[in-house]
Amino acid sequence: MAMTAPFFKYGMFGDEASLVLAFLIGIGFGFFLERAGFGSARKLVSQFYLNDLAVFKVMFTAIVTAMLGVTYLGWIGWLDLSLVYLVPTYLLPQVVGGLLLGVGFVVGGYCPGTSVAATATGRVDGLVYVLGIFAGMFAFAELYPFLKGFYLSGSGEALTIPGTFGLPYGLVVFAVVLMAVGGFYGAGLLEKKFAAAGE
Amino acid sequence: MNPYLAGIGLGLVLLASFVLVGRGLGATGAFNSVIAWVVGGVAPDHARGNEFIAGYLGDGGASPLKSWLLFEVVGLFAGAMFSGLLAGRAKVMTEKGPRVSVRTRLAMAFAGGVLMAFGAALARGCTSGQALTGGALLNLGSWAFMMMVFAGAYAVAYFVRWQWR
Amino acid sequence: MSGWFSRLTLNQKLALAAIALGAGALFAAPYPGSKVTLDARELALVVGTEADHVEAPELAAWIIENRADYRLVDLRTEKEFATYSIPTAVNIPMSVLPEAGLGRQEKLVLYSEGGIHSAQAWMLLKALGHKSVYMLKGGLDEWKDQVVFPVLADDPTPAQRARDERLKAMSAFFGGQPRSAASAAAGEPETPGIAAPLTPAVPKVAAPPSPAGGAKPAVKKKREGC
């Protein structure tokens, strides 16, 4: 019997074990978020004042790492990529949601994951941010009947960039890597230029 | 830590999630599960009647707290705490710039959270679930979302710089 | 050459590694598409021992007990399905089986008219990596013969009488009717094509099978989000 991944989708273990794994994976997630300094609002927000582009560097390095991993593991047939959950695309709400998230990011200083990390390291503003998320989510749920139409506008299909534009998967992967590395180089230049302005 | 190394670490955690469980990371869903649990406990009929919340209650067989994301976020908390303590970065304080009061900063933090919640709800995720996870999987909506996050943040950053400088 | 490499900073080395791996990815096509691999020996063994068969009365018992740990799949066309189907079955015609989105570890019981299509579908699903696939032995033909129109003994002994009572109850549950051994042996024409859709006295089953299978994915879907 060939050992293929994702293990859970092949019934290697059950729901309970997957919850334990969730916890362990979460530990890794939180650990590296804090390692990168993302438990601090000032560090995070520096991205948007161009002093410290760690957010861009960490995020895109993570994306490239996982993307390459998935590509190679899928290519050798060990990982069945079609079984990895792909969030359906609802373009308009996601675009608007992204803008709101970006605004919330600089106003509040965190995003949901980092706000939990910040709370874990004692940041009061992180905790207040978390409370804000609860309040906002609850409000969203209450307003859902009015927002439902917009919320559901879009195809709701699981779409990938290579699939949508008819490009070879590997080509897009390579393009993303180039863009990321180029971005890292540019980020270094920007930091040198604007670092003086920050604290 | 070198941001690139931290990024590689994060990327490997994400990859492990894909390989082991067939899904990526996230954070927003955990908040929804908690809300569903609270509302479901306090006002069950209202919870059932609300389509959004009901989705997190499922068929009533299992508690909404038995959610993959919730367990993951609890782990996030633990992992971050561990790293912070290890690095001496754990401290009860309020992150803010020198020219703004704690009260104002906390008010802004709350407001930011509210905005973020709406954004994440509409986008079906946040930077963890959409940008990181969807980004790695070349998900179309996720990449569009990611670009918009940066756009929105950069656009508004100038107007709230008094909070940080 | 090695001297040049060692003089790079860590970040530069990482960048180079990334570009190299990215270039390698140009030749990668990670989505498996529709190609499948089979373990011939394993499959031959399973087929030989008939380990993956479910007998009609067994399935009937599962339905009566209202078991929900499996999904019953009717592989025939929509038209055939509409004429008659085993209660609780969901219709997934052969042609759309690969795209039906069935979970790899879901327990599936397949049936078709006789057994040929279900055997072929079984092979297909096993090849796609499904772990728990079963076939209704004899298909709908055996279902009608053994469950809906079971044959009763002509001159039942006490033991046979008990069995006959069970058969009667079972066939009544599915809106059928027992036959006598004599009429069955007389080569009575194929159990009359059940013209009107049977409405078995199965209150819970009256609800379309989708919610049982559909609600779960809906729940899981929400939870699988971010």
- Any CB–CB contact under 8 A between B42 and chain A? no
Whether C28 sits inside 8 A of A83 (CB atoms) is no
With respect to residue C138, please indicate whether it lies within any of the assigned structural domains.
yes
Whether A9 sits inside 8 A of C23 (CB atoms) is no
> Same structural domain for residues C78 and C171?
no
When CB atoms are compared, the residue of B74, B131, B148 closest to A26 is B74
> Same structural domain for residues C102 and C68?
yes
Q: How many domains does chain C have?
A: 2
36-95 of A, contacting C, C-beta below 8 A? 64, 68, 70-75, 77, 79-83, 85, 87
With respect to residue C226, please indicate whether it lies within any of the assigned structural domains.
no
Subunits touching C (CB < 8 Å, at least 3 pairs)?
A: A, B
Alpha-helical (H) ranges within chain B are 3-21, 28-42, 44-49, 51-57, 68-87, 102-123, 135-136, 140-157
> Same structural domain for residues C128 and C177?
no
| Domain-wise residue ranges, chain B | 1-92, 93-165
* Structure tokens, C77: 């066309």
Q: Which of C83, C118, C144 is the last residue of a domain?
A: C144
Q: What is the ipTM of this complex?
A: 0.93
> Same structural domain for residues C181 and C93?
no
Whether A64 sits inside 8 A of B39 (CB atoms) is no
CATH code where residue C87 lies = 3.40.250.10
Subunits touching B (CB < 8 Å, at least 3 pairs)?
A: A, C
What is the pTM (predicted TM-score) of this model?
A: 0.76
pLDDT digits (tens, 9 = 90+) for B10-46: 999 999 999 999 899 999 999 999 999 998 888 888 8
With respect to residue C71, please indicate whether it lies within any of the assigned structural domains.
yes
Q: Give the CA count within 13 Å in the CB-facing half-sphere of B60.
A: 6
Contacts of A82 in chain C (CB under 8 A): 31-32
Whether C22 sits inside 8 A of A176 (CB atoms) is yes
Whether B76 sits inside 8 A of A57 (CB atoms) is no
Cα pseudo-dihedral A76, A77, A79, A83, rounded to 10: 140
Number of H helices, E strands in chain A: 8, 0
pLDDT digit string (tens) for chain C, length 226 residues: 567 777 778 888 888 899 999 999 888 777 765 666 677 887 787 778 777 888 888 888 888 888 888 889 999 988 888 888 888 888 998 888 877 777 777 789 999 988 888 888 888 888 877 878 899 988 888 888 888 888 887 777 888 888 888 888 888 888 887 877 766 665 544 444 443 344 444 333 333 333 333 333 333 334 456 7
**Residue C77: which domain range?**
40-144
The answer to whether residues C40 and C184 touch, using CB atoms and an 8 Å cutoff, is no
Subunits touching A (CB < 8 Å, at least 3 pairs)?
A: B, C
Contacts of C224 in chain B (CB under 8 A): 23, 68
Name the interface residues of C facing B (CB cutoff 8 Å): 10-11, 14, 215-216, 218-219, 222-226
* Structure tokens, B114: 């509210």
Q: Which of C144, C176, C211 is the last residue of a domain?
A: C144
> Same structural domain for residues C120 and C163?
no
When CB atoms are compared, the residue of B28, B55, B59 closest to C226 is B28
